[in-house]
Structure 1
Amino acid sequence: MLLIIIAFFLGIISISYHQEVFTLFIFVGLLTMLIINKEKRFVISLLLSFLTGFVIFMVSNDFVGTMNIPEELKVILNRFFLVFIIIGIVLNHLFFNKKVSWYNEKPDWKNPIILPFHKVNTFWFWLIGMVVNVIIYLYFIIQKDIEYIHVFDKLKLSHHSN
């Protein structure tokens, strides 16, 4: 399974850096694993469908990048082309008769999340995650606010001196 995951991440990297030959080797390797490994067939095909959708996404964005259209439209199309990745994953689920879950249900806050070393309720896991994120990003937010205040003060001073 580790080899499959490594191949998947190498596929993402090679597609991102437009390494067509290496990407082809990754696809051939994953297709070979798909044929050989019957018990992991769904997971391997899911990763292949993601990579295929990602290739279509990248090619579409490269094509739009060459067009002479406004930058705003390029950004909108870039975001829209993410649907190619989703379509690949949905088609894979339909092929294997698996239920597609959109994870849009309310969480069960009492349900425990079981980690290797302990378990914690979903609510406390969420709360701890939120606090950690606030602590980590607070420094950057405050730093940007201080830079903004300094720039604003310089603008006010230059405006008053004129």
Structure 2
Amino acid sequence: MSKLEKQKNTLPFIQLILFLAIIIIVQYKLFMLAFTVLAIFIIYSAITGKQKRVFLWMLAGYTIGYVIFLFGDRLIELLPFHINILMILSRMLLLIPIIIMMYIAYKFNEKMNFYWTKPNWQAKISFPFIWTGFHSISIKLFLIIAISINIISFFPFILQMSHQLSTFFILFLLLFSSINAILEEILWRGIILTRLVDLAGEKTALLISSFAFGLSHLILGYSFLTCMLFSIGGIFYAGMTIRSGSIYPAIIWHFIFNILMIASGLIPFIN
């Protein structure tokens, strides 16, 4: 194998490590370090193919978008609105990295999202390893079982809450849950998963994107253990997306999960 061939085989794995490193660095708001590392790799990748460069530019777009997201979040806190409205506006800022990354994909003439199609509900997914396991069922049945388990798990905590079913509470419940689910899934199981699949294949992309998804919650104040639980959830979100060929099953599950978190008080609603 020639030196150039070894470089082509090694570069995707280096970029995967870089991806995780940038996600962690951004969580700790070390943006100058993130941009410096990215600039070095972008210059280095100038001698490689287009597909190698597009991933680095998409990662740079994510980092830029996240910086703007955090800056916008601070500005939103200054607005004279109720805190629950501010929480909804904050989640809408996820549009910023999404738009930037979509624009970069467009400039490179790359498909923005492999999974923005009608789902194959009869496609099979296995437990616990998506492609293999002790049992395989359809995406539809898997989704019904997963949501049922979530409802049963959250039900004791929901009973302890004393929310009044006001119009404001219901609006917050629906708006926050839908906006957060749709935008996070477009970003993580849409754009980012697409680029990782293109770079390293489905199985590697599933694991790396899910681990990074969990880590991305560190900046929100969640513990590392909780973030790893989010990563496990991300594995099944990504698994459903890849096996069904669509992002919609993950959006539905994510939406219901957000509703349960609000109803149980894990995502706070302030009366």
Residue 53 (1) aligns with residue 65 (2)? yes
Q: CA deviation at 1:47?
A: 2.1
The offset of 1:148, in angstroms, is 4.5
1:134 corresponds to? 148
User: Is 1:35 aligned to residue 49 of structure 2?
Assistant: no
- Would the aligned equivalents of 1:93 and 1:99 in 2 still touch at CA under 8 Å? yes
Report the Cα distance in structure 1 between the residues aligned to 2:48 and 2:147, rounded to whole angstroms. Answer: 40
Distance 1:137 1:3 in 2: 40
Query: In the alignment, which of 70, 79, 92 is matched to residue 80 of structure 1?
Result: 92
Shift of 1:57: 1.0
In structure 1, stretches of 5+ residues that fail to align are: 150-162
Q: Residue type of the partner of 2:104?
A: N
Q: Deviations over 1:85-112 (max 9, x none)?
A: 1111111121011233484432233456
Q: How many residues align?
A: 145
Q: Which amino acid aligns with 2:89?
A: L
Equivalent residues of 1:7, 1:30 under 8 A apart: no
TM value normalised by structure 1: 0.66
Greater relative contact order structure (CA < 8 Å, 6+ sep): 2
Q: What displacement does 1:29 show?
A: 4.0
1-structure distance, mates of 2:69, 2:59: 15
| TM-score in terms of structure 2 length | 0.43
Cα distance in 2 for partners of 1:25, 1:79 equals 28
Unmatched runs of 5 consecutive residues or more in structure 2:
1-11, 163-271
For the Cα contact (< 8 Å) 2:72–2:93, is it kept in 1?
A: yes
* Alignment-mate amino acid for residue 52 of structure 1: I
Q: Which residue of 1 aligns with 2:24?
A: 13
Answer yes or no: is 1:95 the counterpart of 2:107. yes
Residue 106 of structure 1: which of 118, 140, 156 is its match?
Answer: 118
CA distance in 2, matches of 1:14, 1:62: 20
Q: In 2, distance between residues paired with 1:103 and 1:6?
A: 24
- The aligned counterpart of 1:160 is none
**Percentage of matched positions with identical amino acids:** 21
Q: Which residue of 1 aligns with 2:139?
A: 125
Q: Give the CA RMSD over aligned residues.
A: 3.3
